[in-house]
Amino acid sequence: MSRQTASSSRDLAMVAIFAGIVGALGLIPAVTAFGGAVPITAQSLGVMLAGAILGPRRGGLALVVFLVLVAIGLPLLAGGRGGLGVFAGPSIGYLIGFPICAFVIGALTYAVGAPYRLSWGIVANVVGGVVIMNVLGVVGMMLRADLSLDAATTAALVFVPGDAIKAVICALVARGVHAAYPGLLPERRRRSERHDAHA
């Protein structure tokens, strides 16, 4: 088996594993706070982990695979939901945000490279998994739940404390994974090397 084939096989395996992790997190019961249109679930932690560990391409692809499985009817979302109908509900912004946010988190994480820095990891997770995720969620609730911007933003604020905690947990887990498997993150080039490359 060639090195390129082995690498592709490993990439596909990791994509499948993380799609499965997000699905497994759906087994944790969802909570609907204050009668909100969108339930609070643990699956956004899986989105953050996919981006922080796999990077933008593989992390985003893992969530695309997950959404395809949901679309064909597998009950992988929290509460055992699945099928095309879920994409017509108020959660649509968050669902579409899964691969987008994983890509953003991965891009920010991999832009800095190895070794994994906890502080930057938290920043990347907050930008992708809290800010962008909830902005898209607000848009989805406005479109599908017929909420005003103020009402949708207020509904989304319920998620922020938990999402911030997930961002820290994800960074701690990612630091451990990258320490155990140093080849996942690209090596950070030294400033002098970057200068020579642009000279």
Instruction: Please answer whether residues 109 and 122 qualify as being in contact, where contact means their C-beta atoms are separated by less than 8 angstroms.
Output: no
Q: Which of 181, 162, 46 is nearest to 105 (CA)?
A: 46
Cα–Cα distance, 114 to 26 (Å, whole number): 31
Looking at the chain, the whole-number percentage of residues with pLDDT higher than 70 is: 89
pLDDT at residue number 32: 75
The reported pLDDT for the residue numbered 199 is 46
State the average pLDDT over residues 15-26: 96
Query: Which of 1 and 6 is assigned the larger pLDDT?
Result: 6
Region 127-137: mean pLDDT is 98
Q: How high is the pLDDT of residue 38? A: 83
**Distances 87 to 95, 122, 184, 187 between C-alpha atoms, Å:** 8, 29, 33, 39
Whole-number pLDDT of residue 57:
96
Tell me the domain boundaries of the chain: 3-182
- pTM value is 0.89
* 191, pLDDT greater than 50: no
Query: In the predicted model, what is the mean pLDDT of residues 59-81?
Result: 96
pLDDT computed for residue 31 by the predictor? 82
pLDDT score recorded for residue 189 = 61
Give residue 3's pLDDT band: very low, low, confident or very high (50, 70, 90): low
pLDDT in tens, 107-117: 999 999 999 99
C-beta separation of 125 from 171 below 8 A: yes
pLDDT at 78: 92
Mean of per-residue pLDDT scores for the chain = 91
**Topology, domain 3-182:** Arp2/3 complex 21 kDa subunit ARPC3 (1.10.1760)
d(CA 174, CA 42): 17
